[in-house]
Amino acid sequence: MKFLIIRFSSIGDIVLTTPVIRCLRKKYPEAQIEYLTKKQFSGVLLSNPYLNKIYLLKDDISETINELKEEKFDYVIDLHNNLRTMRIKKALGLKAFSFNKLNLQKWMLVNLKINILPQKHIVERYLETVKRIGVVNDNMGLDYFVSENEIVKQEDIPVSHSHGYIGIVIGAAHSTKKLPLHKLKELCSKIDHPIILLGGIEDFINALEIASADTVKIYNACGKFSLSESADLIKRAKLIISHDTGLMHIASAFKKNIISVWGNTVPSFGMYPYQTNYVSAEVKKLWCRPCSKIGYSKCPLGHFKCMEKQSVDGIVQQVNIFLKN
């Protein structure tokens, strides 16, 4: 039996599909389980032992379709469910199981502030997609596998952080998901513990400014490590503070204590930390939240209250509670 799982993007979304891969493997241990995604996100899956092969989406989708036709799949599991995946499914002509994105329900929450979304994590909804073929949730959470050659060497982080640190993920795909720079600086200044700033190369300049306040306590790791190396740093952290972003879900995979910081999006979308100990930091009873199911480059109303009104002292208090426990 041969399965093709499809999810093109992004880091967090792909991590959230990993229970489907694992539980499918447990149900069909002898099956070929293969995955189609974008090249820039394939690193999330490269070390996953439950997969037999990864396909990379080509610029010309016809090339991808022709490649897949040669593979003689039995089933398609479409966890992305957009126009391109519909084209692939139609071309392959196979039995397909497609994720229900609940776009109408999300639209109602964003535009009318009426929440009729099911009170389920998106992982549970992904697994419902394959329920008809006998796949059940093993309740083992998310997966992220770091290969041996991507484990960060102890000498690659400061000696001051060798006995433990807090990881703070300062980036996000959209600006309205991120604390403003002045809030991040205030947060880091008030935390009395070694800190490693985590993010991509696009976060390096902001991280440099944050770390300049105390270069002994705060280490800027943004852009210095690969995704899996950053995942290893997350795995070794005492605690993770993160926006609604992919590294937060990687932290969930490692069962880390998490403080998740929410701006224009809300946990009700079902993408909060999964099966790990966490608290949410969010400005509740703000009439304009959520303003988008994804995010914007800037606040559409100009005030950015969902982040400007975040209580830094409240986050620091939660940090201290986690560290004491």
Residue count (the chain): 325
Residue 132 scores a pLDDT above 90: yes
- Tens-place pLDDT, residues 295-321: 999 999 999 999 999 999 999 999 999
**Residue 176 shares a structural domain with residue 121:** no
Q: How many angstroms separate the CA atoms of 74 and 54, rounded?
A: 16
- As a whole number, the mean pLDDT across the chain is 97
Residue 270 lies in a domain: yes
Mean pLDDT across the stretch 187-200? 97
Mean pLDDT across the stretch 186-215? 97
Residue 112 scores a pLDDT above 90: yes
The whole domain housing 92 covers 2-133
**Residue 172 shares a structural domain with residue 308:** yes
Percent of the chain at pLDDT > 90 equals: 100
* pLDDT in the model for residue 325: 86
Domain C-terminal end among 118, 133, 148:
133
Alpha helices in the chain (DSSP H): 11-16, 18-27, 61-69, 83-92, 103-112, 122-128, 181-190, 204-211, 227-236, 246-253, 305-308, 312-324
Mean pLDDT across the stretch 239-257? 98
**Residue 181 shares a structural domain with residue 235:** yes
**Residue 74 shares a structural domain with residue 8:** yes
**Residue 128 shares a structural domain with residue 207:** no
Residue 180 lies in a domain: yes
Helix axes 83-92, 61-69, angle to 10 degrees: 30
Mean pLDDT across the stretch 158-162? 94
Number of domains in the chain: 2
Q: Which residues contact 292 (CB under 8 A, 6 or more apart)?
A: 110, 174, 176, 264, 265
User: In this structure, what are the phi and psi dihedrals at residue 118, rounded to the nearest 5 degrees?
Assistant: -65, 145
Percent of the chain at pLDDT > 70 equals: 100
**Residue 200 shares a structural domain with residue 100:** no
Tokens 């599991």 locate to: 77
**Residue 190 shares a structural domain with residue 298:** yes
Residue 277 lies in a domain: yes
Instruction: Grade residue 231 by pLDDT with cuts at 50, 70 and 90.
Output: very high
- In this structure, what token pair is assigned to residue 104? 């109408």
Q: How many angstroms separate the CA atoms of 15 and 231, rounded?
A: 12
Q: Which residues contact 14 (CB under 8 A, 6 or more apart)?
A: 7, 37, 41, 44, 45
**Residue 198 shares a structural domain with residue 254:** yes
What is the maximum alpha-carbon separation in the chain?
59
Domain C-terminal end among 100, 133, 166:
133
Q: How many angstroms separate the CA atoms of 164 and 232, rounded?
A: 13
Domain C-terminal end among 65, 98, 133:
133
Q: How would you classify residue 32: left for phi > 0, otherwise alpha for psi between -120 and 50, otherwise beta? A: beta
**Residue 122 shares a structural domain with residue 176:** no
Residue 207 lies in a domain: yes
Residue 150 lies in a domain: no
**Residue 97 shares a structural domain with residue 232:** no
**Residue 231 shares a structural domain with residue 107:** no
Mean pLDDT across the stretch 123-147? 98
- Tens-place pLDDT, residues 2-42: 999 999 999 999 999 999 999 999 999 999 999 999 999 99
Work out the number of other CB atoms within 10 angstroms of the CB of residue 298. 10
Residue 142 lies in a domain: no
Q: CATH code at 66?
A: 3.40.50.2000
Q: Which residues contact 21 (CB under 8 A, 6 or more apart)?
A: 5, 33, 35, 48, 50, 51, 143
**Residue 175 shares a structural domain with residue 313:** yes
Residue 146 lies in a domain: no
Residue 126 lies in a domain: yes
